[in-house]
Structure 1
Amino acid sequence: MNKLSREELRKRAKCIRLVLTDNDGVLTDTGVYYSDKGEEFKRFSIRDGMGVERLRKVGVQTVIITGENSGSVKKRAEKLQLPFLYLGIKDKLAQLETILRETGYKPHELAYIGDDSNDLKIITEINKEGITACPSDAMEFVQEVVHYICTKPGGNGAFRDFAEMIISLKKEESEGE
């Protein structure tokens, strides 16, 4: 794990204004369900949704960035009132410049949570100035490079765990001023 001291995590958390999250494996449990008509279903955690809301209350927005182009992800983003949604993104690092331009945020204001090989490049970039995390059931090679491994698996509260960590660190930093 790419460990940062608690003090460094607090300093970085103070600046976080945008959390980027992968969808499959973070907001979902990696399962995809198909009906006999070929309809795709994904399960989302209500607790993760509350994490989005709690972050919003402390001035942190959430954005989904995913390689999928799924209607269920679009509906979930609408339900959560996310300001931006990036679907069908195969190269997340290449999309980062667009995200920064469209949102107006700077690299040190970002956090990222992902779980697999398609997240590694953006995790490595955000590690430089922001905070990164992965669900407890993320691929081992992702666990080795993030700052924080959540106590919960993807689709079962991992995003909420990361959100609460950021909120807690922000609170610690503001109390220390």
Structure 2
Amino acid sequence: MFELSPDIRARAEKIKLLILDVDGVLTDGRIFIRDDGEEIKSFHTLDGHGLKMLQASGVRTAVITGRDAPSVGVRVRQLGISFYYKGIHDKRAAYADLREKAGVAEQECAFVGDDVVDLPVMVRCGLPVAVPDAHWFALRHAAYVTRHRGGAGAVREVCDLIMQAQGNLESALNGYIE
């Protein structure tokens, strides 16, 4: 369980939609490119299961990414992520479209990012989160910085944090030992 500040708890209690960047958040930020141009990415299973648990608690999930790698589309489908924006260069416009489609207010959105291209969403959402190795300017605008790095459990940490603030984490975890 987390020691949540009153501010983070209040922000996280309102979250109805968790939005994620991919490179540096769902992955460690490295991109492996095969000779044929295919991109290879590595995803952490802790993050995947955290997203499934968060979805089961009633919070929807989304991805907004600047790249368009087929492997990300596969992972998005595997995880049942509701909204997928790929090849996005204007994250502000994608965020506005996403909020309209999802029917959520800005304070009901959390976003996890790692670079300055994520700031148009981070500065507008209710719970802006950065991974610890994010660009310093993105870190400056985060309300919460994860203990875990991108691709190494950062997303799971955010899922657990939201569920804890909303009173769902303990019962979800206890379901595994009953």
**TM-score, normalised relative to structure 1:** 0.88
2:6 matched to which residue of 1?
7
Task: Tell me if the contact between 2:111 and 2:128 (Cα under 8 Å) persists in the aligned partners.
Answer: yes
**1:20, 1:89 → 2: CA distance?**
14
Output aligned runs, 1:18-57, within 5 Å. Answer: 18-57=17-56
Aligned partner of 1:155 in structure 2 is 151
Structure 2: unaligned runs, 5 residues or longer:
169-178
Instruction: Output aligned runs, 1:93-132, within 5 Å.
Output: 93-126=92-125, 130-132=126-128
Could you give the per-residue CA deviations for residues 76-100 of structure 1, whole angstroms, max 9, x where no partner exists? 0000011110001111112222111
CA shift digits 1:129-148 (9 cap, x unpaired) = x1111111111111111011
Q: Which residue of 2 aligns with 1:66?
A: 65
Question: Partner of 1:142: helix, strand, or coil?
Answer: helix
Letter in 2 for 1:8: D
Matched residue SS, 1:133? strand
Percent identical residues: 35
Alpha-carbon distance between aligned partners in 2 of 1:6 and 1:152, rounded to the nearest angstrom: 18
Provide, for residues 64-119 of structure 1, a one-character-per-residue CA deviation record: whole Å limited to 9, x for no partner: 10011110110000000111100011111122221111111121210000000101
Structure 2 Cα separation of the partners of residues 30 and 9 of structure 1: 26
Q: Is the 8 A contact 2:62 2:84 kept in 1?
A: yes
RMSD: 1.4
In structure 1, the partner of 2:89 is 90
- In structure 2, distance between residues paired with 1:21 and 1:81: 14
Question: Which runs of structure 1 show a deviation greater than 6 angstroms over 4 or more consecutive aligned residues?
Answer: none
Q: Gaps spanning 5+ residues in structure 1: where?
A: 173-177
User: SS of the counterpart of 2:46?
Assistant: helix
Q: Normalising by the residue count of structure 2, what TM-score does the alignment of the two structures yield?
A: 0.88
Local SS of the residue matching 1:62:
strand
Structure 1 residue 35, shift from structure 2 partner: 2.1
Moved more, 112-121 or 33-42: 33-42
Partner of 1:134: 130
User: What amino acid maps onto 1:135 in structure 2?
Assistant: V
Hey, what's the Cα distance between the residues in 1 that align with 2:33 and 2:94? 30
